[in-house]
């Protein structure tokens, strides 16, 4: 049997000795001390007449033996030569013990003797190394427990009793106490407890000392439990073979429950003597002690137990005495119940005093024994059954003191032994805590408060709720304790139609303790992936097991699976209650029941599923259908009736369903029950028929006794008589039937069980069932500090938790409560974010935003002052923005509420004027974070002035200055100190919020949250409306737009995500605005800014970004005109910074379109041309993709009459210079590309060149002379400087038709049809044009002359020369042209002659080129032919024609030439 290990110097819970704390090592000193104690006893004895007289009476009479023994000891003590520890203590103790035992001594003498023994014990004269120490301490215990003395007066009696307590406690604290036997420890406790009861009629001091002594004894005893070896047969000294054999002989078969007050030596003498006639006959202590003892003896035999083996009780003390003491303490609780039931009167206040005392002792034992209890099955069994059953009953006590102590004990038990008390803990919360806290069960406010305090204490245990969830909520056979407790805390925190009370705050503390526990576990990780549970095939749900309950990788998926099954069963129960058939089909569909129903699975569904309608279950089980009968028998088979009384078993069985009313159904149900009961408990009954008949009898008796309609009740004799011969023809034992009768009479069997999910009362039958279940229950899962199941738990309690905290926060008036609520809110936010519960976080944000008062319409005159004075609003505001900054990743719809708060602060002028600009500039100017950040870089930059929108005072300081300012018309008083303080508090609050960081740090937001934030900004801005928005609405829209642009710029890497919404919003603004305003200004320049910033990083989006700038082209004319210059400056910046990143034609088309528009705008044209110059100049950024577009833009600038003509000339220079780019591209293409690519590139270059010269052609018609002439020169350069381009002949023909001839014709028409005021000095222009024609023609003559269409081209040239030669400028022919044209013609003909192009190749009529040439030339210069071809008789043919006319062939030739000439004249016109 386990006992104390022998140690030197056991550190018991010691008191300071009263006499002296010096250990005497000197023999003489110790002898002197004993001598002084002998003298003290003798001195007191001499004061007594009897002792003194006898001593002096004469020599013939001997001295009394007590005096003689003392004197004898006095003689011996100085003669001992051996070391003190080798002297048997019994020698010097015995004379004092004889005095203590003597019934002749009075109380003073006995008291002094007790003091002497106490002194010897406290001076450590006896220790474990002393000879015969064990027997000596046994002698002391025996003597003191059998103390006898004459009762002289109450004070003396109390003094002796206190000395007894003192000595017995000193025995337990002495170093030799480990040699005390189990028997003697029990004797000590029993003796002290007798004095406790006897002290009830004595003074208050004795009562307190007695109780304290018992308390210390229990502590001394159980403090050694952790030191006791779990080896059953370990002995203290290990040298007693007889004791070893005795120990082995007892083996492990002894049963707890032996009575503490038996075995002869355990106090019968004390009882006899303490109650003897030596006491005053009027003393009430004797009957009290005796009566108390009898009750203890009676109660200790409640259970069938046998005492410990005598050898075990005589071994050095250990577990056996602890078992006895613990059982004795439990029996005190039973005793109280019996006394209350029996109505026995007693002077002690049993209603509260005794249970409190017993509970305090039990609590102390549990505190000191701690987890060591689990190593000793008998102690553990006492806790599991007897103690806990008593705790359940006393938990419902009306005394708040008792309830508080019960809760403390359960908390200690949870802390040390929860793995062994799974179902007991569930029962305590279901049947005690949850019942008490809910008002519907009739508990007083004090009871509710104590229960709530206890619950909160449990909630403060970090793993309590996790373990409740894992072990109970996820077990199909247990109730949802976690869920019930969480709901209870939430409901209890709600002040319903009443002010906030301490109970509400207490519940809130518990709720927040649970939440904060989850929040603290977040950093510890989970390590287990939360995979969804899916039942793919049927597995018996009641047989699901876990292989290793200590391995989180196994038990976590297991409990999640069990919880999933439990939830599905609850849903199935709901379906079953509406329609049993559909309910079973639903469970088959979820694979909780097999596709083909079997009786076992349906029976287990009925047995283990909570919430079933018990009427429907009873009808199903009582049905005569064969399947239902099979289910009934399987259902009965799920019960464990082992060692259970028949009435208890019947109660348990009938609690699970309602017994049907039809007799046949009742018979079927009772047959199944009786069969199962007889199978498991056949002790008295001979067969199942006997069980059936007796069950019927009990049902009839129950109806008879508890039905109000039955007037004449069945007596015990009637019941016994009716139950004759039912046990196989024999009678059942009368005692057995009598017990059943009284049990039914006292406690009704409820055939209509409680419906619903209430919290039932713990009945004896339910407790027996609980103990049976606990033997088969799955192991208790111990959770560590990781957040394994927190997500599942939080999802259950989050909604009610947020609501509860919000309600308390709303009703609270003290800052401490505010802070508690805020801590709860932050913990909820942290958990929601960690476990990605976005909906919960949104709900939290919505709830918190309401408390900021920022979303409420302002009903106060000075909302800023009101906000500064409202602590709750300021704390809520700070918390909202802290959550937004810390957990913004997981906010979704909550962004709308947050933005409402921001906008309200903005409207009140409480936000810094640079919030949005700081946000926008963050990525660009991250190094410059000071207050002096230049505003020129912000969205409200100096170079983007707002048009038509007056600047208003913004920012808190602006509001503050308004407050300080004095209105000229209506003077205002200076602000008070309170107002100044309110403003200061408001300022501090806004600074704490760090609102701008929401947007500057948006680049770290998760994509979904970022998108929701952007959408919330768009929503908050509102849809723009044409011309009827208020200034306040516009200000809001502007602010939202600034923030939207800010987050867009800060998230360039995720622009694809944001861009559609941003673009649509800006587009709506642009297209709905008809007048200049701040909103459209921010929209346009924000759009440009986005493009400026993002083009370098998002080349794949360049086209889309640039395409968005087409919105600028859609601006209303008035709006565009107002912002044209600034827009152009921004476009110019964009081009200069990002020209290399713009590669597509569509992108360049947008840019050049914007630039082209500026050509005719006075203020914008300079900036626009500057950007164009940057692109085209030296071909720096000219590309095939933008060449044509840039040429068109340049042409528009050259044609523009805005500004000086010099810019037009520069534009022409740009156009002319661009031909070099074409040449360069042609060279590069030939070097790098393949043949087919060269052909394609040549064709593209040709097209671009043609667009270039066409553009120049148009400028050649400009009214301004210098521009017109410069255009002609530029055109000439482009036509003549293209040797490297190698344009195809067909393109040149196209060029002559579309460009040169058209230009010549248009110029001539202008010269002849417009006044000189519009076009000055057209003559000079015509001359330049004619020179251009001649030069280009001659340059290309060699190549073009080979073409079949050359004749047509040549006639076109001649036609224009002829027209120009005859042209009239200012109403008369131009002399200069008349001189120039023949000269140019002569030069041309000479070149043609030289190159062999113009020669007479055949006889008359065979060469149309020759003939047509001279036909036109002669119209211009008749003498030219003879000058050029002097040898030709050119007049011959003409002469013949004059004389006789042409022949038929000649006529045909002339007519065809004329036709060609006419066609040529019309070409290109």
**What's the average model confidence in pLDDT over 742-770?**
79
- Contact between 1282 and 1219 (Cβ < 8 Å): yes
Give the model's pLDDT for residue 913: 63
Give the model's pLDDT for residue 19: 40
Tokens of 504: 């509400």
**What's the average model confidence in pLDDT over 101-110?**
87
The Cα 1083–Cα 1067 span in angstroms is 8
pLDDT 10s digits, 625-635:
899 999 999 99
Q: Please name the helix (run of DSSP H) or strand (run of DSSP E) that holds residue 1369, with its range, or none.
A: strand 1368-1369
pLDDT band at residue 859 under the 50/70/90 scheme: low
The Cα 1352–Cα 37 span in angstroms is 158
Give the model's pLDDT for residue 902: 92
What 8-state DSSP symbol labels residue 853?
S
Percent of the chain scored above 70 by pLDDT?
81
**Which is nearest to 1142 in space by CA: 1178, 1177, 1191, 1109?**
1109
Question: With 80 as the cut, is the pLDDT of residue 1115 above it?
Answer: yes
Question: With 60 as the cut, is the pLDDT of residue 258 above it?
Answer: no
Q: Please name the helix (run of DSSP H) or strand (run of DSSP E) that holds residue 1368, with its range, or none.
A: strand 1368-1369
Question: With 60 as the cut, is the pLDDT of residue 266 above it?
Answer: no
pLDDT 10s digits, 607-646:
888 888 989 999 999 998 899 999 999 999 998 888 888 8
**Which is nearest to 335 in space by CA: 470, 197, 234?**
197
Tokens of 167: 């000595």
pLDDT 10s digits, 1070-1113:
988 888 889 999 999 999 998 888 888 877 788 888 888 888 88
**Contacts (Cβ under 8 Å, ≥6 apart) of 520:** 462, 785
The Cα 57–Cα 60 span in angstroms is 8
Name the range with the highest mean pLDDT among 64-73, 363-372, 1420-1429. 363-372
Question: With 90 as the cut, is the pLDDT of residue 232 above it?
Answer: no
Taking all residues of the chain, what is their mean pLDDT, rounded to a whole number? 80
Tokens of 6: 């022998």
Name the range with the highest mean pLDDT among 337-341, 1154-1158, 1437-1441. 1154-1158
**What's the average model confidence in pLDDT over 1411-1415?**
84
Question: With 60 as the cut, is the pLDDT of residue 906 above it?
Answer: yes
Give the model's pLDDT for residue 872: 93
- Contact between 749 and 654 (Cβ < 8 Å): yes
The Cα 586–Cα 583 span in angstroms is 5
CA distances to 319, 367, 464 from 415, in Å: 22, 10, 9
**Contacts (Cβ under 8 Å, ≥6 apart) of 1399:** 1393, 1410
The Cα 1000–Cα 984 span in angstroms is 26
Give the model's pLDDT for residue 7: 40
**What's the average model confidence in pLDDT over 307-336?**
82
Tokens of 1389: 């003909």
Active-site position among 15, 245, 340, 662: 662
- Contact between 1303 and 1273 (Cβ < 8 Å): no
What 8-state DSSP symbol labels residue 437?
H
User: What is the CA angle 765-766-771, rounded to 5?
Assistant: 100
- Among 142-146, 229-233, 584-588, 820-824, name the one with the lowest average pLDDT: 229-233
Q: Please name the helix (run of DSSP H) or strand (run of DSSP E) that holds residue 572, with its range, or none.
A: helix 552-578
**Which is nearest to 332 in space by CA: 214, 181, 426?**
214
In the annotation, is 969 catalytic? no
Q: Number of C-alpha atoms within 13 angstroms, CB side, residue 666?
A: 14
**What's the average model confidence in pLDDT over 474-494?**
92
The pTM is what?
0.77
pLDDT 10s digits, 1024-1048:
776 567 788 888 899 999 999 999 9
Which of 35-59 are b and which e, b meaning 16 or more Cβ less than 10 Å from the residue's Cβ?
eebbeebbebbeebeebeebeeeee
- Contact between 432 and 396 (Cβ < 8 Å): yes
Higher-pLDDT residue of 1181, 927: 1181
Give the model's pLDDT for residue 151: 76
Higher-pLDDT residue of 1457, 1203: 1203
Q: Please name the helix (run of DSSP H) or strand (run of DSSP E) that holds residue 1372, with its range, or none.
A: strand 1372-1373
- Contact between 150 and 107 (Cβ < 8 Å): yes
pLDDT 10s digits, 383-392:
999 999 999 9
Give the model's pLDDT for residue 49: 64
Give the model's pLDDT for residue 1185: 87
Coil/strand/helix, residue 730 = strand
- Contact between 1408 and 1454 (Cβ < 8 Å): no
Tokens of 930: 């000071």
Give the model's pLDDT for residue 1315: 66
Question: With 80 as the cut, is the pLDDT of residue 752 above it?
Answer: no
Give the model's pLDDT for residue 279: 30
- In the 3-class helix/strand/coil scheme, how is 1100-1125 assigned residue by residue? HHHHHHHHHCHHHHCCCHHHHHHHHH
pLDDT band at residue 336 under the 50/70/90 scheme: low
Give the model's pLDDT for residue 807: 92
Long-range contacts of 949-956 (CB under 8 A, 24+ apart): 949/1034, 949/1077, 949/1078, 949/1081, 952/1035, 953/909, 954/909, 954/911, 954/913, 955/909, 955/911, 955/912, 955/913, 956/909, 956/910, 956/911, 956/912, 956/983, 956/986, 956/987, 956/990
Question: With 80 as the cut, is the pLDDT of residue 1371 above it?
Answer: no
The Cα 165–Cα 276 span in angstroms is 20
**What's the average model confidence in pLDDT over 585-599?**
88
**Which is nearest to 1087 in space by CA: 1117, 1048, 1033?**
1048
Q: Please name the helix (run of DSSP H) or strand (run of DSSP E) that holds residue 488, with its range, or none.
A: helix 481-493
Q: Please name the helix (run of DSSP H) or strand (run of DSSP E) that holds residue 1008, with its range, or none.
A: helix 1007-1021
Coil/strand/helix, residue 1373 = strand
Higher-pLDDT residue of 670, 1461: 670
- In the chain, what is the straight-line distance between the N-terminal and C-terminal CA atoms, in Å? 130
Q: Number of C-alpha atoms within 13 angstroms, CB side, residue 406?
A: 29
pLDDT 10s digits, 551-582:
888 888 888 888 988 898 899 999 999 999 98
Which residues sit opposite 1151 in a β-bridge? none
**Which is nearest to 678 in space by CA: 693, 690, 696?**
690
């Amino acid at each position: 049997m386990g006992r104390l290990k022998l140690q030197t110097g056991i550190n018991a819970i010691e008191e300071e000795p009263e006499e002296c704390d010096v250990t005497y090592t000197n023999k003489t000193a110790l002898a002197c001390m004993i001598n002084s104690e002998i003298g003290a006893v003798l001195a007191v004895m001499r004061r007594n007449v009897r002792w003194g007289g006898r001593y002096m009476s004469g020599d013939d009479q001997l001295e009394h033996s007590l005096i003689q023994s003392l004197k004898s000891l006095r003689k011996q003590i100085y003669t001992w030569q051996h070391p003190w520890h080798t002297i048997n203590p019994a020698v010097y103790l015995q004379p004092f013990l004889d005095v203590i035992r003597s019934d002749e001594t009075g109380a003073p003498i006995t008291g002094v003797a007790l003091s002497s023994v106490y002194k010897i014990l406290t001076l450590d004269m006896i220790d474990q190394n002393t000879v015969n120490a064990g027997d000596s301490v046994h002698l002391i215990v025996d003597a003191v427990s059998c103390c006898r003395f004459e009762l002289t007066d109450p004070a003396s009696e109390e003094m002796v009793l206190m000395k007894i307590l003192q000595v017995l406690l000193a025995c337990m604290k002495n170093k030799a106490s480990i040699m005390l036997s189990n028997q003697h420890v029990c004797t000590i406790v029993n003796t002290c407890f007798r004095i406790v009861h006897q002290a009830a009629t004595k003074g208050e001091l004795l009562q307190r000392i007695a109780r304290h002594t018992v308390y210390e004894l229990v502590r001394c005893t159980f403090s050694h439990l952790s030191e006791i070896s779990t080896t059953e047969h370990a002995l203290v000294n290990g040298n007693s073979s007889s004791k070893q054999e005795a120990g082995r002989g007892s083996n492990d078969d002894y049963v707890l429950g032996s009575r503490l007050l038996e075995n002869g030596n355990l106090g019968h003498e004390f009882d006899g003597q303490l109650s003897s006639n030596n006491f005053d006959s009027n003393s009430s202590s004797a009957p009290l002690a005796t009566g108390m003892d009898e009750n203890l003896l009676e109660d200790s035999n409640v259970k069938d137990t046998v005492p410990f083996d005598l050898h075990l009780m005589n071994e050095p003390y250990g577990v056996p005495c602890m078992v006895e003491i613990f059982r004795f303490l439990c029996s005190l609780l039973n005793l109280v119940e019996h006394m209350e039931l029996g109505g026995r009167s007693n002077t002690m206040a049993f209603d509260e005093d005794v249970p409190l005392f017993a509970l305090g002792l039990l609590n102390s034992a549990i505190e000191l024994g701690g987890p060591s209890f689990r190593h000793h099955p008998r102690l553990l069994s006492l806790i599991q059954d007897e103690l806990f059953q008593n705790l359940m009953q006393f938990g419902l006590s009306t005394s708040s003191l008792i309830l508080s102590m019960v809760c403390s004990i359960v908390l200690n038990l949870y802390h040390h032994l929860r793995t062994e008390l799974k179902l007991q803990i569930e029962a305590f919360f279901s049947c005690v805590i949850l019942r008490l806290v809910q008002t519907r069960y009739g508990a007083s406010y004090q009871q509710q408060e104590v229960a709530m305090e206890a619950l909160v204490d449990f909630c403060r245990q970090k793993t309590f709720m996790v373990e409740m969830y894992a072990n109970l909520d996820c077990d199909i056979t247990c109730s949802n304790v976690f869920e019930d407790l969480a709901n209870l805390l939430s409901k209890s925190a709600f002040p319903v139609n009443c002010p906030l009370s301490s109970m509400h705050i207490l519940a809130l503390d518990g709720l927040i303790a649970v939440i904060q526990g989850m929040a603290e576990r977040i950093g510890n990780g989970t390590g287990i992936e939360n995979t969804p549970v899916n039942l793919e095939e049927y597995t018996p749900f009641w047989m699901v097991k876990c292989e290793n309950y200590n391995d989180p990788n196994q038990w976590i998926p297991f409990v999640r699976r069990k919880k999933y099954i439990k939830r599905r069963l609850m849903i199935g129960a709901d379906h079953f209650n509406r329609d049993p058939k559909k309910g079973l089909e639903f469970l088959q569909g979820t694979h909780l029941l097999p596709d083909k129903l079997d009786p076992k699975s349906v029976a287990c569904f009925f047995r283990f599923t909570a919430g079933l309608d018990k009427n429907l279950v009873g009808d199903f089980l009582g049905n005569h259908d064969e399947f239902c009968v099979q289910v009934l028998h399987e259902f009965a088979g799920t019960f464990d009736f082992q060692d259970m009384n028949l009435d208890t078993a019947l109660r348990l069985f009938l609690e699970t369903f309602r017994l049907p009313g039809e007799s046949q159904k009742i018979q079927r149900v009772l047959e199944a029950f009786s069969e199962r009961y007889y199978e498991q408990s056949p002790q008295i009954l001979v067969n199942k028929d006997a069980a059936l008949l007796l069950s019927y009898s009990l049902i009839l008796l129950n109806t008879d006794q508890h039905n109000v309609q039955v007037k004449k009740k069945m007596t015990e004799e009637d019941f016994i008589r009716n139950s004759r011969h039912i046990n196989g023809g024999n009678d059942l034992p009368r005692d057995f039937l009598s017990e059943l009768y009284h049990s039914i009479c006292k406690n009704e069997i409820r055939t209509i069980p409680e419906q619903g999910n209430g919290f039932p009362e713990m009945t004896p039958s339910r407790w027996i069932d609980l103990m049976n279940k606990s033997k088969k229950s799955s192991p208790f899962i111990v959770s560590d500090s990781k957040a394994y199941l927190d997500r599942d738990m939080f999802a259950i309690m989050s909604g009610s938790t947020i609501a509860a905290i919000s309600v308390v926060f709303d009703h609270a008036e003290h800052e401490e409560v505010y802070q508690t609520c805020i801590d709860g809110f932050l913990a909820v936010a942290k958990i929601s974010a960690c476990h990605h519960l976005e909906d919960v976080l949104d709900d939290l944000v919505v709830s918190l935003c309401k408390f900021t008062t920022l979303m409420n319409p302002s009903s106060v005159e000075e909302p800023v002052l009101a906000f500064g004075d409202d602590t709750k609003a300021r704390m809520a505001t700070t918390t909202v923005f802290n959550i937004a900054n810390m957990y913004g990743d997981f906010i979704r719809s909550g962004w709308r509420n947050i933005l409402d708060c921001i906008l309200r602060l903005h409207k009140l002028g409480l936000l810094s004027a640079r919030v949005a600009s700081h946000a926008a500039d963050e990525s660009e100017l991250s190094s410059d974070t000071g207050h002096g950040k230049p505003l020129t870089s912000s969205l409200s930059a100096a170079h983007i002035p707002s048009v038509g929108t007056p600047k208003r005072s913004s920012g808190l300081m602006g509001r503050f200055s308004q407050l300080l300012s004095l209105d000229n018309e209506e003077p205002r008083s200076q602000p008070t100190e309170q107002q100044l303080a309110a403003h200061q508090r408001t300022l501090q609050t806004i600074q704490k919020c760090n609102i701008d960081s929401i947007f500057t740090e948006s680049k770290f937001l998760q994509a979904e949250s970022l998108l929701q934030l952007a959408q919330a900004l768009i929503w908050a801005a509102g849809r723009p409306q044409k011309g009827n928005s208020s200034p306040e609405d516009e200000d809001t829209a502007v602010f939202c737009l600034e923030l939207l642009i800010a987050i867009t710029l800060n998230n360039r890497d995720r622009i694809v995500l944001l861009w559609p919404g941003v673009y649509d919003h800006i587009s709506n603004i642009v297209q709905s605005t008809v007048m200049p305003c701040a909103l459209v200004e921010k929209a346009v320049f924000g759009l440009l800014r986005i493009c400026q910033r993002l083009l370098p990083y998002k080349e794949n989006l360049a086209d889309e970004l640039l395409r968005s700038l087409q919105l600028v082209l859609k601006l209303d004319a008035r709006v565009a005109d107002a912002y044209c210059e600034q827009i152009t400056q921004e476009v110019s910046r964009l081009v200069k910074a990002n020209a290399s990143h713009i590669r597509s034609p569509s992108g360049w088309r947008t840019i050049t379109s914007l630039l082209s528009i500026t050509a005719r705008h006075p203020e914008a044209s300079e900036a626009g041309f500057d950007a164009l110059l940057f692109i085209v100049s030296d071909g720096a950024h000219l590309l095939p993709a933008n060449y044509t577009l840039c040429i068109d833009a340049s042409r528009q600038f050259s044609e523009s009459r805005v500004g000086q003509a010099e810019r037009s000339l520069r534009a022409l220079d740009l156009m002319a210079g661009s031909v070099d780019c074409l040449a360069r591209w042609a060279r590069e293409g030939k070097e790098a590309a393949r043949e087919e690519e060269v052909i394609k590139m040549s064709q593209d270059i040709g097209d671009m060149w043609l667009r270039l010269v066409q553009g120049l052609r148009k400028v050649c018609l400009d009214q301004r002379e210098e521009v017109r002439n410069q255009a002609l020169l530029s055109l000439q350069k482009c036509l003549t400087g293209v040797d490297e381009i190698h344009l195809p002949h067909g393109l040149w023909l196209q060029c002559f038709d579309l460009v040169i001839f058209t230009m010549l014709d248009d110029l001539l028409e202008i010269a002849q049809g417009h006044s000189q005021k519009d076009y000055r000095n057209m003559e000079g222009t015509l001359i330049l044009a004619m020179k251009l024609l001649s030069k280009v023609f001659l340059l290309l003559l060699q190549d073009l002359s080979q073409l079949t269409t050359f004749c047509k081209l040549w006639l076109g040239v001649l036609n224009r020369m002829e027209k120009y030669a005859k042209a009239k400028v200012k109403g008369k022919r131009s002399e200069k042209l008349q001189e120039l044209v023949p000269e140019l013609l002569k030069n041309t003909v000479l070149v043609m002659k030289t190159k062999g192009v113009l020669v007479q190749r055949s006889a008359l009529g065979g060469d149309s080129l020759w003939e047509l040439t001279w036909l036109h030339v002669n119209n211009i210069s008749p003498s030219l032919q003879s000058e050029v071809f002097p040898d030709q008789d050119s007049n011959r043919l003409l002469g013949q024609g004059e004389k006789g006319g042409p022949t038929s062939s000649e006529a045909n030739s002339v007519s065809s030439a004329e036709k060609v000439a006419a066609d040529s004249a019309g070409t290109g016109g």
